[in-house]
Amino acid sequence: MYGFYDLVCDITQCGIKVFDYFLGYRLPEYICGRGFISRLPQMLKDKGAGRVLVVTEKALIELGTAKKMLDPMDEAGIDYVLFTDVEQNPTSDNVEAGFKVFRENKCESVVALGGGAPMDCAKAICAKSAHPRMTTRQLHGILRVHKRVPLLFAVPTTSGTGSETTLASVITDSKTRRKASINDPVLIPKYAVLDPELTLTMPPGLTATTGMDALCHAVEAYTNHFYNTPVENIMAVRAVRLIYDNLYRAYKDGSDIDARENMQIAALYAGRAFTRGCVGYVHAIGHTLGGLYGVPHGKAMAILLPHVMRAFGPKAHRRLSELADACGITGRNDAEKAEKFISWIEDMKRLTGIPEKLDMIKDEDIEQIITWAMREANPLYPTPVLWKRSDFRRFIDSVRE
C-alpha cells in the first residue's frame, strides 16, 4: 500500500536524479595492460605527484605483490612513505593513523594498492586532508568533502570493488561498528593502473568473492535503473557479460591472464555503473555484516545477491531478463529468464564454495541491522521495491541458517 513514506522516498529520488546531472561523474584517466605497473613511476613524475603516501595491506607485502610496484618506484627515485595498517573492513582508526602518516611526512599525493580496503582507506585519508579537523564519522554522507583533495592514484590487485572508479569510501566507525560511506565526486581517483598481472596471486576463494562483488554492483545498478543514463546501463550489461564468461575461468585457473584481464575490466565497468546508478539492499544489509561481524564484503554480497533479487519478485523480472539475454540465457518469458539468471548466480556460489545463507547473525543484532540498512538505503537507493522494517525483518529471517 502506497503511503507517506513511499512518497517521501519518491520525491527524494526525483530530486537526486535532477541533481545528478550537475555532478562530475567520470572515469579515472587509466592505463590498462599486462606489465603496465612498470609505467606508474613515470606517471607519478608526469603528474607532479611529489612525495607519495602508498596505502596498501601487509598481506600484499608478504605475497610480493607490492614489490612489483615498489621496485620500479625505487628504481625511478620516487619519494614515498608506506602505510599498511589497513584492516579487511577499514576503520576510522585506520584512516586517522594513515592521515597522521600523510601529514607528518608532508606527503602530496596518495597511491592506493590493493582491493577495496586500501582504496577506501586512501580515499578517506584524502577526504581528511581536505578537512583535517573533521572526524571520519562527520565525513560520512553525501558531498561533505567538496574541496580539492590530493592526487589519488589507484592500482587494483583484485577484480571486484571497482573502487578505482567510484566516488565512495566505505569506512567502519571504530566505536559504533557502523559501516557507512563518504560519497563525493572529488574522491574518484584521478588516475588508475589496471595490470592483470597484479591479480595473479589472488587465491581462488578471493577471486570468487571479489568477482561476485563486481557482479553485485552491475546487477544492482541495472535493476535500480532510475538514476541511470545509457552509459550506466551499457556498462552494467557489459560487466555482467564479462563476469559470466570469465569469473569461473579465473577461479579454476588463476594463471588465465585473459580471464584476469577481463575481470579487471568488468570491475571497472561495474564500478562506474553503480557510481551513478547506486547499489541496493544487498549492500545496505551486507555493510552491516561487515561492520558488526567482520564478514568480508565480497562474501556478504555473494551470499545476499540472489536472495534479494528473488525477493524483489516481478518488479525486477524485466531488467533481470535483459541481463539474462546479454549472457545468452534463454527462457519463454521475462519471469523464466530472470529465474534462470538468479539460478546461474546460485550455481556460481556452489561451484566456488560460497555459503548459501548467513550463519553469523545474532538475534539481539537484528533490529540494529535493520536500522542501519534502512538508514543507508532509504530514500537514496532507487530499488525496484521499497522495503520497510517488516520487509527487512522477514528477509533477514529467510536468509539465516
Dist CA 188 CA 192 (whole Å): 10
Which residue has cell 557479460? 241
Q: Which residue type sits at 167?
A: L
Instruction: Spell out the alpha helix ranges (H) of 21-134.
Output: 40-46, 58-63, 67-75, 92-104, 116-130
Q: 21 vs 304, which has greater pLDDT? A: 304
- Give the residue from 316, 291, 314 showing the smallest Cα distance to 376: 291
The per-residue pLDDT of the chain, averaged, comes to 96
Question: Residues 350-360: what's their mean pLDDT?
Answer: 97
Q: Is the pLDDT of residue 1 over 90?
A: no
The whole-number pLDDT of residue 2 equals 86
Q: What percent of the chain has pLDDT over 70?
A: 100
At 277-315, the pLDDT tens digits run 999 999 999 999 999 999 999 999 999 999 999 999 999
At 28-72, the pLDDT tens digits run 999 999 999 999 999 999 999 999 999 999 999 999 999 999 999
Copy the grid coordinates of residue 321: 531478463
| Sheet of 52-55, strand order | 29-32, 191-194, 151-156, 109-114, 52-55, 80-83
Q: Give the confidence band of 182 by pLDDT, cuts at 50, 70, 90.
A: very high
The structural domains of the chain, ordered by start, are 26-199 (3.40.50.1970), 202-399 (1.20.1090.10)
